[in-house]
Structure 1
Amino acid sequence: MSTTTVVEVEEAPVQYVHYHDGGVPGKRRILTGKLAKPTFTEIPRIDFRRIYSDSIDDRKALAKEVGAACRDVGFFSAVNHGVPEVVLSDTFDSVKRFFDLPTEVKMECHNQKSDKFRGYEAFLEGRLDPSTRGDLKEGFLMGEDATDPEQNRPITPLNSKPRNQWPSSPEAAFFRPAIYNYYNHMFDISKRMLRIFALALDKPEDFFDEVTTQPMTNVRAVHYPPQESDADVGIGAHTDFCWFTLVCQSQTKLPALEVLNGNGIWIPVHPEPNTFVVNIADFLKLVTGGTWQSTVHRVRNMGGEERYSMPFFFSPNEDGVVSVLEQFRQKGEEYEEIVVGEYFQRRLDVDRTTHIDGEQDGQTKRRAYL
């Protein structure tokens, strides 16, 4: 006589990764074992020499690789991009010098003084992940500003007020020209790169030019000190709100930038000299109906070294209108048109709420760097 024994197996608890996607809190289930699905385990590495080729076939071949990376990952590394290595190294030197300045020099242009959130951000003032004590970083943000003569932009009623803040101390006089040297090189490569994205979508190279004649742009210089606790994060998990972002990161023995794959697993992005890490952001995800990935990412600097990064954010015109391209639309569905500047400001407002602890005696309270 046979007997059957029933053994109850306790299922593993369901776990999620939490993040900000399009400024809205989101989560992704962590899938392992039999539940895991095919997804990326590293980001592609793409040679960008062809971006300067006179041959449209060369540029289309590059676009094909870029398009696959945008669909499957949302991130890729761009090598041989043409920005001189000396520009990158000199900018890193200036960024390090700026963050070494006395706190009072940097705080002169604290970002809470700016409607556009431009200027200096102190340690632990950001808090994208509410489970942490704050983002363990300090940063400086500048961007498109028609009143800055270095940009040679036409002044209109929309952009007639100053947006950037710059430190006035003689100790910091080196910083503005260094950042603008980097900004100009990044602006040029970004305009070329947008044309590669157009080709990747089977559009003419100049397809996005009309909505990017006076693009919204940002450089954010960031300093991440070493993390001593697993509970800390350099910057919480999020997506970017622009066309795309190019990041140049300093060389550290251990990777700090991490990208979230489809199984909810964090994939490290190893730093490589003279290389840009490029990620698709919300506007390219929008126009492709979600076919291209605006991939969640974060920074955890656990290698015991100081880390610096210089992301460049490239967006459509502030008064531009974007929507899902016809080729990605489903019959019978209605699609919203997004005014770029309005969406951008909503995202800034979300970020601003993560930076304010409140006011006391008329002064904005800030967390101390512990």
Structure 2
Amino acid sequence: MSAIAQHADIPGPEGRIPVLDLGPYLAGAPGAREDLARHVARSCRDTGFLVLANHGVPERMVADTFAQSARFFDLPMDDKLALKVGDINIGYLPMGAQTIRTSTVHANKRPNRNESFYIVRDRTPDDPEILAGHPMVGLNKWPAALPEFRAATMAYFATMQALAHRLLPAFATALDLPPDYFDRDFTDPTCTLRLIRYEPQPAVDGETFGFAPHIDTNFTTFLAQSRLPGLEVRTKEGTWIRPPAIPGTFVVNTAEMLGRYSNDRFAPTPHRVINQANEARYAIPFFYGPDNEAVIRVVPSCTSPDDPPRYEPLRYIDHRMNLNRTNFDHRRKDAPTG
């Protein structure tokens, strides 16, 4: 596959959401990073969405993760509720427990029509940050009825974290920065694998969504292609389009922290999920973010006397804690008032 593969349903010479071949880049081919970065920069200035082929993630691993997700959501409700999220989002989030109140792209008043299961870096009870009571660090919760669930999902977690990290130099190059520029903020990245089951949504009323219009709040998000459609991306012109549905590829989108680093040169794109199939739709997004203690600052290549920094420095953990208190019903009691 060439660096860019067109998709017949998307206008433009490269496709509005391009399909990028990662093979040469991952193999370390001369000039591959610069070539990939040019295409990344073009798309990130437009939709902020890419489709990645030849990414090196085994197809069987992706299929196993989807299968384990389906098995989990098929468990009796009592089994799932025994793993319900607590003060931080680890474990099971029931249907109707998340309303995206922080969205700047839609006045979301209704909860999302999905149930979720959150998985983070796997730690032991004697982990120093667990013992210290870190406010955004906790232990994963595992379903006893699914003995293969932990190994399968953690294998996928580790593989996706490695892939996300390998792409940091491409994003740095796309912003005219040294390839290792972001490394200092991603020595212990904050990652989450979220398993999601979307219920069928017979009608589209502009207020009810599998996932309401929003932007992601991390750095980059990696979404394995689902069997059923549902993800929609809002263009700068205000129309909603779907990424190319190519089996075996990943849909990747930029998120809020990359937008802050880039002074909105790579502003995150609103997206939503509407499941109009007559059956449940499964998704396994992997969210890649900076270290908890990283301070997000606008990078020097994205400012000038005519374009000063639009954002003050932001400690990433403060950002995460605010989102957690605001968007999830079980934490709203902790949100600041007044």
User: Structure 2 residue aligned with 1:351, among 287, 304, 327?
Assistant: 327
Match of 1:284 in 2: 258
RMSD between aligned alpha carbons?
Answer: 2.6
Kindly indicate whether the alpha-carbon contact (under 8 Å) linking 1:166 and 1:176 is maintained by their aligned counterparts in 2.
Answer: no
Q: Does 1:123 align with 2:95?
A: yes
Match of 1:140 in 2: 117
Quick one: distance in 2 between partners of 1:117 and 1:140? 9
One-letter amino acid of the structure 1 residue matched with residue 99 of structure 2: R
Match of 1:246 in 2: 222
- Which has more radius of gyration? 1
Match of 1:223 in 2: 197
Quick one: distance in 1 between partners of 2:265 and 2:40? 13
Q: Does 1:108 align with 2:72?
A: no
Quick one: distance in 1 between partners of 2:255 and 2:108? 24
Q: Larger deviation: 242-251 or 330-339?
A: 330-339
Q: Write the deviation string for residues 245-281 of structure 1: whole angstroms up to 9, x where unpaired.
A: 00113212xx200011112211123432111110000
User: Structure 2 residue aligned with 1:180, among 154, 159, 170?
Assistant: 154
Quick one: distance in 1 between partners of 2:285 and 2:200? 19
Match of 1:300 in 2: 274
Residue segments in structure 1 that go unaligned for 5+ positions in a row: 1-37, 359-370
User: Structure 1 residue aligned with 2:172, among 198, 201, 211?
Assistant: 198
Quick one: distance in 1 between partners of 2:154 and 2:66? 13
User: Structure 1 residue aligned with 2:60, among 73, 86, 99?
Assistant: 86
Quick one: distance in 2 between partners of 1:161 and 1:288? 26
1:19-168 to structure 2, matched below 5 A, reads 42-111=16-85, 113=86, 115-128=87-100, 133-147=110-124, 157=132, 159=134, 163-168=138-143
Kindly indicate whether the alpha-carbon contact (under 8 Å) linking 1:256 and 1:269 is maintained by their aligned counterparts in 2.
Answer: no
User: Structure 2 residue aligned with 1:267, among 221, 226, 241?
Assistant: 241
Match of 2:314 in 1: 338
Match of 1:234 in 2: 210
Report % sequence identity. Answer: 31
Quote how far apart the aligned CAs of 1:41 are: 7.9
Calculate the TM-score normalised by the size of structure 1.
Answer: 0.77
Kindly indicate whether the alpha-carbon contact (under 8 Å) linking 1:246 and 1:278 is maintained by their aligned counterparts in 2.
Answer: yes
Question: In 2 relative to 1, CA 123–130 (structure 1 residues): closer, same or farther, beyond 3 Å?
Answer: farther
Query: Could you say what secondary structure the match of 2:181 adopts?
Result: coil
One-letter amino acid of the structure 2 residue matched with residue 246 of structure 1: F
Question: In 2 relative to 1, CA 305–318 (structure 1 residues): closer, same or farther, beyond 3 Å?
Answer: same
Quick one: distance in 2 between partners of 1:42 and 1:234? 24
Calculate the TM-score normalised by the size of structure 2.
Answer: 0.84
Quick one: distance in 2 between partners of 1:280 and 1:117? 22
Q: How many residue pairs were aligned?
A: 312
Quote how far apart the aligned CAs of 1:156 are: 8.1
Quick one: distance in 2 between partners of 1:105 and 1:155? 25
Residue segments in structure 2 that go unaligned for 5+ positions in a row: 1-11, 101-105, 334-338
Quick one: distance in 2 between partners of 1:323 and 1:127? 28
Query: Could you say what secondary structure the match of 1:284 adopts?
Result: helix
Quick one: distance in 2 between partners of 1:139 and 1:184? 20
Quick one: distance in 1 between partners of 2:213 and 2:89? 20
Match of 2:336 in 1: none
Kindly indicate whether the alpha-carbon contact (under 8 Å) linking 2:324 and 2:331 is maintained by their aligned counterparts in 1.
Answer: no
Kindly indicate whether the alpha-carbon contact (under 8 Å) linking 1:44 and 1:77 is maintained by their aligned counterparts in 2.
Answer: yes
Quote how far apart the aligned CAs of 1:284 are: 0.6
One-letter amino acid of the structure 2 residue matched with residue 256 of structure 1: G
Match of 1:28 in 2: none
